[in-house]
């Protein structure tokens, strides 16, 4: 990470850093006493207060107050900027053409200005609750049944995509389906369609529905169709996944 | 604004600053190379990259990548924190009980850690597009008609709340209603209800509908009801409001 930071910059230092940072598409961070005026779809005013301002390399603008996740004012990527000094105050304007919007930030005092070049090429991977259950199951199939082995992490059938295709300790094929919430009739019917398709080739095929709970009606259907149900919830799966890593030393949480 | 910043802190300096900052409910800012693991409703993984981390005094957590307005991971106010060193890496965990969620941030390198106490008691004032039109009109009634004077900035009638109650240069009362979008029949009918109520006491009362445009049908209704229409859009009102301030020296916008 390359960059620089200036504490209590002069007006000239600050203007130069702002223009350089935005012009070079760097991350600009400023802490200071500022007011914000917005004109566009309606308008807004926020009188002077101590806040954090961020301009990102793509032109996004964020102005953060001392509390809350949401920025109090913001502009999307692609905003245009100008910065100037007026009556001894530093003004930074973000402008957007369509829809026409302008955010004007007026600094009465700047405590910190930083310009950094961040490198970040990582891919954000998001897993649904059912994918988390499946991940834990793949690492620890005994969560569902001792002796199970995962053969295929997914299997495409005419009836759809099976979550996990396994064999049990007696080498019988097993279809495993995960539901993050209480399983109902639809979940049983879905599993049943997969198992039916496979039982045409091998009547020994088992089907296991894995969910945190099941309705009475669904459990009856499970039994009548010669399927099975195992209780497992996402929370337990998360604990299992976390425990696969080297244990961290226990520490008390402290309140912010 | 009180606070401090450390560039390229040692692991110990960093851990101390993080614990102090969060414990004292300050604003914590960190720039570094970090990875993020989230467990809760599903899970997410983001491998190492250079990012900005913010913890606010209310316990909000924001992790920002070099682009986009939205944080890649976040936790709401009230989150609990713990920080520790593990295998030479600084780990910061945000924990939330209900729903149970955990964000674990692992720093491989910290370029900057800052802890600041921000004071910000200002009130955020938001104006709708119609309020902007009204603000501009109050400052410059000639935008609608020369010689108009605003008597009441709003007036409550049985039929509802009138936007502006004015008198014209001949001292005739004038009801002015603003619409930010193309005015239709409903807008005319609304104005008509106000004017009707007032005309019972004074048949001279005028009614002016102010909008950027009007449908043909609505314009016919305006005429048949002996009302009036004036063209004015929000953009013009914003320009008027901005021009009321001391003109700023013209500068070219530069692209970020």
- Structural fold of domain B2-117: Protein Yojf; Chain: A; (2.70.180)
The whole-angstrom separation of Cα B45 and Cα A132 is: 12
Q: Do β-strands A206-211 and A228-231 pair in parallel, antiparallel, or remain unpaired?
A: parallel
Q: Identify the bridge partners of residue A54 per DSSP, sorted by sequence position.
A: A29, A62
Q: Tokens for B236, please give them.
A: 């013009």
Q: Closest Cα of chain B to A256: distance in Å?
A: 5
Residue that is written with structure tokens 């606070």 in the block: B3
| H-only helix segments in A11-79 | 11-23
Tens-place pLDDT, residues B73-92:
999 999 999 999 998 899 99
| H-only helix segments in B86-244 | 129-139, 185-199, 216-224, 234-244
Tens-place pLDDT, residues B46-77:
999 999 999 999 999 999 999 999 999 999 99
The whole-angstrom separation of Cα A40 and Cα A58 is: 21
pLDDT at A244: 77
pLDDT at B248: 42
Q: Tokens for B110, please give them.
A: 């910290």
Q: B167 in the Ramachandran plot: left (φ > 0), alpha (ψ -120 to 50) or beta?
A: beta
Interface-testing mutation among A118, A129, A236, with chain B (most B C-beta atoms within 10 A): A118
Q: Do β-strands B164-167 and B27-40 pair in parallel, antiparallel, or remain unpaired?
A: unpaired
* SS3 state of residue B203: coil
Q: Number of CB pairs < 8 Å for A and B? A: 262
Q: Tokens for B6, please give them.
A: 């450390």
Q: What are the structural domain ranges in chain A?
A: 2-117, 129-243
- Structural fold of domain B129-244: Trna Endonuclease; Chain: A, domain 1 (3.40.1350)
Tens-place pLDDT, residues B142-177:
999 999 999 999 889 999 999 999 999 999 999 999
pLDDT band at B42 (very low <50, low <70, confident <90, very high): confident
Q: Which residues from B are below 8 Å from A41, CB to CB?
A: 129
Q: Which residues from A are below 8 Å from B23, CB to CB?
A: 254, 256
| B111 pLDDT more than 80 | yes
Instruction: Give kind and range of the element (H or E) at residue A33.
Output: strand A27-40
Q: Is the Cβ pair A82, B45 closer than 8 Å? A: no
Q: Is the Cβ pair B126, A44 closer than 8 Å? A: yes
Q: Which residues from A are below 8 Å from B116, CB to CB?
A: 31, 50, 111-112
pLDDT band at B218 (very low <50, low <70, confident <90, very high): very high
Question: In chain B, whose CA is at the least distance from the CA of A41?
Answer: B129
Q: Identify the bridge partners of residue B53 per DSSP, sorted by sequence position.
A: B30, B63
Closest CA to A16 of A106, A78, A90, A87: A90
Interface-testing mutation among B66, B86, B119, with chain A (most A C-beta atoms within 10 A): B66
pLDDT in tens, chain A (256 residues): 899 999 999 999 999 999 999 999 999 999 999 999 999 888 999 999 999 999 999 999 999 999 999 999 999 999 999 999 998 899 999 999 888 899 999 999 999 999 999 999 999 999 999 999 999 999 999 999 999 999 999 889 999 999 999 999 999 999 999 999 999 999 999 999 999 999 999 999 999 999 999 999 999 999 999 999 999 999 899 888 888 764 444 444 554 4
In Å, the largest CA–CA distance within chain A is 85
Question: In chain A, whose CA is at the least distance from the CA of B238?
Answer: A39
Question: In chain B, whose CA is at the least distance from the CA of A59?
Answer: B256
Q: Which is higher by pLDDT, B254 or A164? A: A164
Assigned CATH class of A129-243: alpha beta
Q: Closest Cα of chain B to A226: distance in Å?
A: 30
Tens-place pLDDT, residues B3-12:
999 999 999 9
Q: Is the Cβ pair B112, A5 closer than 8 Å? A: yes
Cβ-nearest to B39 among A67, A242, A253:
A242
């Amino acid at each position: 990470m390359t960059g620089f930071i200036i504490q209590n910059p002069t007006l000239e230092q600050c203007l130069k850093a702002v223009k350089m940072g935005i012009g070079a598409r760097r991350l600009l961070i400023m802490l200071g006493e500022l007011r914000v005026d917005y004109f566009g779809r309606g308008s807004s005013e926020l009188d002077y207060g101590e806040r954090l301002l961020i301009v990102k390399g793509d032109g996004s603008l964020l102005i953060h107050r001392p509390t809350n996740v949401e920025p109090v004012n913001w502009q999307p990527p692609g905003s245009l900027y100008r910065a100037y000094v007026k009556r001894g105050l530093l003004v930074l304007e973000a402008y957007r053409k369509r829809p026409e919007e302008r955010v004007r930030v007026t600094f009465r005092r700047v405590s910190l200005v930083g310009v950094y070049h961040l490198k970040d090429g990582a891919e954000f991977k998001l897993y649904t609750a059912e994918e988390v259950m499946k991940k834990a199951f793949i690492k620890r199939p005994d969560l569902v049944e001792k002796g199970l082995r995962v053969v295929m992490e997914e299997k495409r059938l005419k009836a759809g995509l099976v979550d996990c295709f396994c064999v049990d300790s007696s080498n019988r094929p097993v279809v495993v389906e995960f539901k993050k919430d209480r399983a109902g009739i639809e979940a049983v019917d879905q599993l049943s369609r997969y198992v039916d398709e496979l039982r045409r080739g091998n009547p020994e095929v088992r089907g296991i529905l894995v969910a945190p709970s099941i309705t009475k009606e669904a459990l009856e259907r499970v039994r009548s169709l010669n399927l099975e149900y195992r209780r497992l919830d996402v929370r337990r799966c998360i604990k299992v996944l976390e425990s696969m890593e080297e244990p961290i030393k226990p520490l008390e949480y402290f309140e912010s």
